[in-house]
């Protein structure tokens, strides 16, 4: 409940903001935004100028709820569906297009991240995030009522677009809390995602036991997204367009917007990522490999579809887009992405570290559930529990990372956690068949790389030349994060497919032939072991109980050898992270009490918009 005292305090904020508006960041350059064009309430200020009651106000707490719930819905759109995608395919298909259910989520998210940040910096954030959650509501309803795989893919496109808004939480929270508390505030957001992130696999498997099965996950996300949209609408009132631009018209900003840069960036990124996902063999994102076809080959890496997308997308994204931004022929048009963000070493290091962390998260979310089903003999319930261990360790690490960043400082913490995580994840290759050892190493590695990723994401908001570019910088950071994630998933999927293609024939074929199985029956046996057919004497001529036991044991060893390669591959990302951490700068403590933004009382919006500087 807002009080009359709050109205008085807001007017005082207008006066103090005029006197106290430091340029925040390690680079002491003049901000791009024209301060005189902003209403005082739309500018940053010192925390001391904000009354303590503001932190307990409905608008602040409600905004924090909206951010947390939105993040919860955004992560659930992927994490609740991936573990049971095999069962979904059995119900609605089977369809070879099922692999695109997970792919389009990441692609949509990656393309829209920077767009959300840039446009909300210019036009105000409120309606962007309301609409973002509403898109999530529509997408999850479409998914819950889908009758075929193509409809399900369409739902994930909408959910992925929505996630670009919702997973922008780290810079939206950073805008409304003092800089010193940004790490802890983000830990709160990670805690909200416990049902849709670390416990997602368990919840998804539990829904499978109900009458509505996997549709329950979609209905659950629908409720979360709807509640988020309500909170955004009722409580989140950041500076409006008129408060951000008292001397400019929307039509002028639209006319002078870098539409060509936007087209080159989004088009190049989308085409390039499509090429990455079309190449090689992609695994279905499922909790158990035994319930669905093991893989779905799209195109060879040498195919024209793949090469054409990679070359065209790469030329547009890495050559045409930078060239256009550098040589922008229109003097009154600001580049879509400020060029200094690409030369800001600390910012770039933080962005790519978040990508490395997310790449491990998505990669191990894909690989580990398959390893659980392929390597260990477990009940369906226990598979559901263990399948989520990697994600669980990662998210709990993200929560703990906020505490570490606040207590001991982010730079020291980012360095130490990454240097622990990378070797530990690689060490999981020691003996994949030793379940306890492998689980312990993966959980530990995921925990520390999660802690590193969370702190890097928040640290990326500190090294900007002005905090008024939080949306633009945060959007680019999110896009880089998604880009690396897509690369990681493509690499992990291709390596696993190729290695299994080598190790399974090498270990299984000689073992079963020596046990007495006719060579002509080996292909049917391999299909059965992969979950693509039955393991019976009628479907596999010559199969006996003894031969079947031999085959299963050889198949486990073949998979163990393949997963060893995956764990070694993880060091390609972790090793890069061990180098990047040294380029992260320490935060400027003199700015730790600075608050970049504010959520105002909606009853005062007109007065704030009309306030004179």
List Cα–Cα distances, 472 to 110, 569, 590, in angstroms: 14, 32, 24
Structural domain includes residue 292 = yes
Structural domain includes residue 455 = yes
In the numeric block, which tokens belong to residue 62? Answer: 């409600």
pLDDT higher at 25 or 319: 319
Per the CB < 8 A criterion, the answer to whether 163 and 132 are in contact is no
> What pLDDT does 364 receive?
77
Residue 316 is given by DSSP the state I
Residue 518 is given by DSSP the state -
Say yes or no to pLDDT of 146 above 90.
yes
> What pLDDT does 578 receive?
94
In whole angstroms, give the CA distance from residue 595 to residue 467. 9
Between 108-117, 220-229, 380-389, 447-456, the lowest mean confidence (pLDDT) is in 380-389
Say yes or no to pLDDT of 292 above 90.
no
Mean pLDDT throughout 265-294?
Answer: 61
Structural domain includes residue 17 = yes
Per the CB < 8 A criterion, the answer to whether 258 and 334 are in contact is yes
CATH of the domain at 34: 1.20.1250.20
Task: State pTM to two decimals.
Answer: 0.82
Percent of the chain having pLDDT more than 70? 88
Confidence of residue 579 (pLDDT cuts 50, 70, 90): very high
How many domains, the chain? 1
> Is residue 414 within a helix (H) or strand (E), and if so which, with residue range?
helix 410-427
DSSP of 580-606, one letter per residue?
Answer: HGGGPPPP-GGGTTEE------GGGHH
**Cα 131 to the center of its chain, rounded Å:** 19
- In 170-192, which positions are buried (b, 16+ CB within 10 angstroms) versus exposed (e)? bbbbbbbbbbebbbbbbbbbbbb
Per the CB < 8 A criterion, the answer to whether 375 and 556 are in contact is yes
Mean pLDDT throughout 419-432?
Answer: 92
In whole angstroms, give the CA distance from residue 435 to residue 224. 35
pLDDT higher at 174 or 9: 174
In whole angstroms, give the CA distance from residue 353 to residue 331. 34
- In 539-562, which positions are buried (b, 16+ CB within 10 angstroms) versus exposed (e)? ebebbeeebbebbeebbbbbbbbb
Phi first, then psi: give them for residue 80, nearest 5 degrees. Answer: -80, -20
Between 24-33, 181-190, 402-411, the lowest mean confidence (pLDDT) is in 24-33
Mind listing the pLDDT tens digit for each residue in 388-410? Answer: 788 788 889 999 998 998 888 89
Per the CB < 8 A criterion, the answer to whether 318 and 267 are in contact is no
Q: Residue 440, exposed/middle/buried by CB under 10 A (0-12, 13-18, 19+)?
A: middle
Confidence of residue 14 (pLDDT cuts 50, 70, 90): very low
Mean pLDDT throughout 451-472?
Answer: 88
List Cα–Cα distances, 439 to 366, 376, 445, 508, 565, in angstroms: 15, 12, 10, 25, 17
> What pLDDT does 132 receive?
94
Say yes or no to pLDDT of 571 above 80.
yes
Mean pLDDT throughout 592-600?
Answer: 84
Say yes or no to pLDDT of 219 above 90.
yes
Structural domain includes residue 542 = no
Structural domain includes residue 519 = no
> What pLDDT does 610 receive?
64
Q: CB within 8 A of 132, min separation 6: which ones?
A: 70, 116, 161, 162, 164, 165, 166
> What pLDDT does 24 receive?
39
Q: Residue 463, exposed/middle/buried by CB under 10 A (0-12, 13-18, 19+)?
A: buried
Confidence of residue 36 (pLDDT cuts 50, 70, 90): low
Mean pLDDT throughout 489-495?
Answer: 82
Per the CB < 8 A criterion, the answer to whether 516 and 547 are in contact is yes
With CA atoms as reference, report the closest residue to 497 among 294, 303, 302: 294
Structural domain includes residue 553 = no
> What pLDDT does 306 receive?
84
A 10 A CB-CB count for 339 gives 12
Mind listing the pLDDT tens digit for each residue in 344-392? Answer: 999 999 999 999 988 887 777 778 877 888 888 887 778 767 877 887 8
Mean pLDDT of the chain: 82
Percent of the chain having pLDDT more than 90? 30
> What pLDDT does 32 receive?
35
Three-class DSSP category at 304: helix
Confidence of residue 68 (pLDDT cuts 50, 70, 90): very high
Q: CB within 8 A of 556, min separation 6: which ones?
A: 374, 375, 433
pLDDT higher at 312 or 525: 312
Q: Which of 122-126, 145-149, 382-386, 482-486 has the highest mean pLDDT?
A: 145-149
In whole angstroms, give the CA distance from residue 79 to residue 558. 28
> What pLDDT does 4 receive?
41
With CA atoms as reference, report the closest residue to 99 among 297, 369, 335, 323: 297
> What pLDDT does 35 receive?
56
Tell me which residue range forms the domain holding 451: 7-501+560-610
3-state helix, strand, coil in the chain (%, to 5): 75, 0, 25
Structural domain includes residue 246 = yes
In the numeric block, which tokens belong to residue 397? Answer: 């690490």
Structural domain includes residue 530 = no
In whole angstroms, give the CA distance from residue 197 to residue 556. 28
pLDDT higher at 106 or 36: 106
How many residues in total does the chain contain? 613
Q: What angle do CA 598, 110, 489 make, to 5 degrees?
A: 130
């Amino acid at each position: 409940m807002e009080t009359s005292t709050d109205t008085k305090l807001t007017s005082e904020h207008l006066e103090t903001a005029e006197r106290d508006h430091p340029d925040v960041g390690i680079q002491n350059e003049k901000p791009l935004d024209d301060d005189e064009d902003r209403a005082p309430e739309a500018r940053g200020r010192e925390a001391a100028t904000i009354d303590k009651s503001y932190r307990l106000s409905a608008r602040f707490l409600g905004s924090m709820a909206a951010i947390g719930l939105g993040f919860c819905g955004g992560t659930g759109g992927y994490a609740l569906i991936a573990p049971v995608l095999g069962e979904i395919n059995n119900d609605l298909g089977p369809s070879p297009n099922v692999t695109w259910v997970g792919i389009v989520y990441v692609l949509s998210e990656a393309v829209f991240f920077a767009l959300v940040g840039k446009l909300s910096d210019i036009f105000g954030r409120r309606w962007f995030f309301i609409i973002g959650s509403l898109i999530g509501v529509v997408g999850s309803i479409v998914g819950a009522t889908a009758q075929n795989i193509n409809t399900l893919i369409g739902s994930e496109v909408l959910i992925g677009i929505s996630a670009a808004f919702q997973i922008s939480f780290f810079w939206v929270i950073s805008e409304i809390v003092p800089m010193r508390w940004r790490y802890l505030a983000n830990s709160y957001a990670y805690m909200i995602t416990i049902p849709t992130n670390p416990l997602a696999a368990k919840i998804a498997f539990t829904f499978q036991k109900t009458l509505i099965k996997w549709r329950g996950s979609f209905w659950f996300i629908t409720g979360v997204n709807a509640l988020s949209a309500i909170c955004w609408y009722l409580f989140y009132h950041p500076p409006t367009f008129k408060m951000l631009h008292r001397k400019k018209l929307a039509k002028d900003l639209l006319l002078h917007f870098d539409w060509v840069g936007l087209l080159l960036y989004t088009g190049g990124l989308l085409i390039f990522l499509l090429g990455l996902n079309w190449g090689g063999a992609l695994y279905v994102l499922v909790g158990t490999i035994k319930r669905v076809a093991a893989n779905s080959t799209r195109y060879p890496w040498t195919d024209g579809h793949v090469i054409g997308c990679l070359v065209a997308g790469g030329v547009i994204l890495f050559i045409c887009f930078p060239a256009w931004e550098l040589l922008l022929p229109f003097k009154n048009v600001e580049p879509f992405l400020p060029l200094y963000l690409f030369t800001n070493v600390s910012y770039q290091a933080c962005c790519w570290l978040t990508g490395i962390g997310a790449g491990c998260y998505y990669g191990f979310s894909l690989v580990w559930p398959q390893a659980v089903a392929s390597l260990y003999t477990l009940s369906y319930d226990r598979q559901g529990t263990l399948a989520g261990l990697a994600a669980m360790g990662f998210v709990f690490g993200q929560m703990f990372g906020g505490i570490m960043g606040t207590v001991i400082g982010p730079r020291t913490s980012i360095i130490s956690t990454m240097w622990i995580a990378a070797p530990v994840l690689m060490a999981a290759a020691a003996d994949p068949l030793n379940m306890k050892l492998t689980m312990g190493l993966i959980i530990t590695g995921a925990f520390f790389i999660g802690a590193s990723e969370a702190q890097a994401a928040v640290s990326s908001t500190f090294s900007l030349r002005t905090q008024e570019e939080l949306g633009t910088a945060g959007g680019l950071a999110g896009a880089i994060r998604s880009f690396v994630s897509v690369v990681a998933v493509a690499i992990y999927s291709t390596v696993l497919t190729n290695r299994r293609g080598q190790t399974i024939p090498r270990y299984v074929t000689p073992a079963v032939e020596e046990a007495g199985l006719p060579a002509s029956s080996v292909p049917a046996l391999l299909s059965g072991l992969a979950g693509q057919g039955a393991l019976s004497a009628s479907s596999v001529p010559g199969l006996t109980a003894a031969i079947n036991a031999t085959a299963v044991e050889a198949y486990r060893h073949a998979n163990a050898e393949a997963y060893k390669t995956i764990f070694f591959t993880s060091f390609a990302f972790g090793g890069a992270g061990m180098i990047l951490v040294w380029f992260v700068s320490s935060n400027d403590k003199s700015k730790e009490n600075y608050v970049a933004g504010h959520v105002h009382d909606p009853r005062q919006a007109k007065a704030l918009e009309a306030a004179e500087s």
